[in-house]
Amino acid sequence: MAEGQWPVAGLDEAGRGPLAGPVVAAAVILDPEKIPEGLDDSKRLTAEQREALFDIILGSALGVAMSSICAEGIDTINILRASLEAMRRAAAGLSLQPKLALADGRDIPPGLPCPGRALIKGDQRSQSIAAASIVAKVMRDRMMSGCGQVHVHYGFEAHMGYATPRHRTAIGNHGPIARLHRVSFAPFRLGETEMAEAD
């Protein structure tokens, strides 16, 4: 704002590391008069804190948009490109056009609708990025919890698709789920393991 760069959108994603599920990105333009208290890197907050802040952010921000890229898309273009593309789509989906986008990490998503800057550890340095990290994390967790209700043997609602012992055991017993597991990731590669067909 001191540079005359306003509105500013924070961009972040959730779900780069899991073996299953989408990568989800969010773009948030905060109202400088209504900054929610307690914003932080989503990984440093409890699930209850994230859920409470999610509602506050959606109710107070000037703009919020989300995007996701599914496991098949990740397998096709790789997780880094998928993460950046999801952030680009989220920024493009904002109802308020930002003059600057701050993206968490080392890379600026190509094709942004405005100039962009990358901020390493941005979710700890920028309130807008922190808000985006919370929105993306809550939305992804909700999506994976829904997958857990459909694929009850995998425990997605507990581990959100990360490579926990429970998840690895389920993959060993039941195989990866088509269109949900990222078959380009270790411990499986396409063709090495029989696929469980998704509903």
Which residues are annotated binding-site positions for a divalent metal cation?
12-13, 104
For residues 43-56, b (16+ Cβ closer than 10 Å) or e, as one string? eebeeeebbbbbeb
Which tokens go with 107? Answer: 């890379």
Beta bridge partners of 8: 100
Which tokens go with 122? Answer: 């941005």
List the binding residues: 12-13, 104
Contact yes or no for 181/171 (Cβ under 8 A): yes
CA distances from 183 to 19, 51, 180, 195 (A): 8, 30, 9, 9
CA distances from 5 to 8, 105, 109, 167 (A): 7, 20, 18, 45
